[in-house]
Amino acid sequence: MLDAAAYNPYLSPGTAPMFSYRHAFHAGNHADCLKHFILVALLRYMEQKDKPFSLIDTHAGAGAYGLDAGYAMKNSEWEGGIARLWQRTDLPPALADFVELVRGMNSSGKPTFYPGSPYIAHKLMREHDRLRLYEMHPTDVDLLGKTFQNAGRQVMVTRGDGYAGLKSLLPPPSRRALALIDPSYEDKRDYSQVVQTLKDSLTRFATGTYAVWYPLLPRPEAQRLPDRLHAIQAEWLDVRLQVSRAGPGMFGSGMFILNPPWTLRATLTECMPVLKDALAQDEGAGFQITTSDMAPVKREPFQHSRAKPAPRTR
Ligand SMILES: C[S@@+](CC[C@H](N)C(=O)[O-])C[C@H]1O[C@@H](n2cnc3c(N)ncnc32)[C@H](O)[C@@H]1O
């Protein structure tokens, strides 16, 4: 069993030139809430069959984060994310399930810790399921390794490129897999790599479920990404949450899911209006759910950016 307090919340600022992105700055923000609530829903669906599955997390981060110290305090992004859901008792079941998981790691009753995708996956998976984690940042992969050092064969932590890692693991032995592809997009090659990785993954394992997180940003690569994802010849669902008017920085994010569970659309249709209202920063907030078999299924005011590109933020 993972102990939330075992995660090191006091990360000292890293100086590695190649890896300036640290997810701890953004832990629990609106983008994490969208991504992690959907991850919980996907895992719940995977658990409905007894057959084991592999969860492959190509960009794992540090595993979990302290909110009251270190990087997370710098901009307190979680105040515009999980803090707004924390006290709610009226959430639809799938959102409540996610918030309950976060509450469960905070025995003090205050939001002190926030889970990363590895924590969520490990918490929800069964003994016979497998968790495969890839992370490039030396500090974060160290933390991951320490956290899962007693997890045995169920969890494998690899310092290395998650795109190549995913390729090497497909098809999985159990023929059931969920992959989370969650790059920082610090490197603009990520925009092409996610598309290429999805196409390649489908040739290796056509029935896997693949979830990609992406930012809503004015930079041209980000603006083009949804169309490139929608052109993939497979069943998909795309959900975008815009939290503010389009501006020079990140104004929301999306999750694109290849081979989504058939239940996901209904879950999102129920949850997204609530999530949008809870996380809205101004009147530009909106959401959009699109699927491969039809035009947008549900949409509330959604703007496209005309602002000038700015350096990437998350
Ligand atoms: C957005 S964070 C991951 C957050 C995590 N998935 C979560 O939800 O808690 C992206 C991570 O990917 C790492 N990274 C960047 N490029 C990578 C690559 N090619 N392979 C593996 N990890 C990478 C970064 O160091 C960063 O920690």
Using one digit for the tens of pLDDT, what is the confidence trace for 185-234?
A: 999 999 999 999 999 999 999 999 999 999 999 999 999 999 999 999 99
Percent of the chain with pLDDT over 70: 86
Rounded to whole angstroms, how far apart are CA atoms 118 and 115? 8
Neighbours of 271 (CB within 10 A): 23
Give the CATH number, domain containing residue 98.
Answer: 3.40.50.150
- For residue 103, is it within any domain? yes
DSSP-assigned states of every residue in 200-220: HHHHH-TT-EEEEEEEE-SSH
Q: Best substitution site from 23, 32, 119, 131 to test ligand 1's pocket, by max atoms within 8 Å of Cβ?
A: 23
**Predicted TM-score (pTM) of this structure:** 0.90
Query: Residue 124 above 60 pLDDT?
Result: yes
- Is 305 part of a structural domain of the chain? no
Average pLDDT in the chain: 89
Mutational test site, ligand 1, from 136, 167, 180, 181, max ligand atoms within 8 Å of CB: 136
Is 143 domain-assigned? yes
Let me know if residue 306 belongs to a domain.
Answer: no
Are 299 and 286 in contact, with CB atoms under 8 Å apart?
Answer: yes
pLDDT recorded at residue 311: 44
Query: Of ligand 1's atoms, which has the minimum distance to the CA of residue 39?
Result: 8
Determine if ligand 1 sits within 6 Å of the CB of residue 37.
no
Establish whether residue 67 lines the binding site of ligand 1, counting it when its CB lies within 6 angstroms of any ligand atom. no
- Please give the Cα distance from 293 to 48 (Å, whole number): 25
Number of the ligand 1 atom closest to the C-alpha atom of 36: 8
Domain extent for 46: 20-299
The verdict on the CB of residue 162 being under 6 Å from ligand 1 is: yes
pLDDT for the residue 307: 43
In a domain, 150, yes or no: yes
The predicted pLDDT at position 299 comes to: 66
What is the β-pairing status of strands 177-181 and 155-159?
unpaired
Alpha-carbon distance of 64 to 121, in angstroms, equals 11
- Does residue 63 lie within any of the structural domains? yes
Is 32 within 8 Å of 111 (Cβ atoms)? no
Mean pLDDT of 167-191: 97
Q: How far is CA 229 from the centre of its chain?
A: 17
Grouping H, G, I as helix, E, B as strand and the rest as coil, residue 289 is strand
For ligand 1, is residue 137 a contact (CB within 6 Å)?
Answer: yes
Q: Is residue 146 part of a domain?
A: yes
Q: Which residues fall within 8 angstroms of residue 94, CB to CB, at 6 or more apart?
A: 37, 40, 41, 44, 267, 270, 271
Q: What is the DSSP letter of 98?
A: H
The answer to whether 34 and 27 are in contact (CB under 8 A) is no
Q: Average pLDDT in the 159-165 region? A: 98
Catalytic residues: 182
| CA pair distance 268, 211, nearest whole angstrom | 14
CA 155 to chain CA centroid, Å, is 19
| Average confidence (pLDDT) over 39-46 | 98
pLDDT band at residue 143 under the 50/70/90 scheme: very high
Residue with CA at minimum distance from ligand 1 atom 27: 61
Instruction: Give 152 Cα–ligand 1 centroid separation in angstroms.
Output: 23
In a domain, 155, yes or no: yes
Cα–Cα distance, 45 to 48 (Å, whole number):
5
| Better-scored residue on pLDDT, 314 or 87 | 87
What is the number of domains present in the chain?
A: 1
Cα distances (angstroms) measured from residue 96 to each of 90, 101, 200, 283, 296: 8, 9, 35, 25, 25
Q: Does the CB atom of residue 312 touch ligand 1 within 6 A?
A: no
Strands 155-159 and 294-299 turn out to be: unpaired
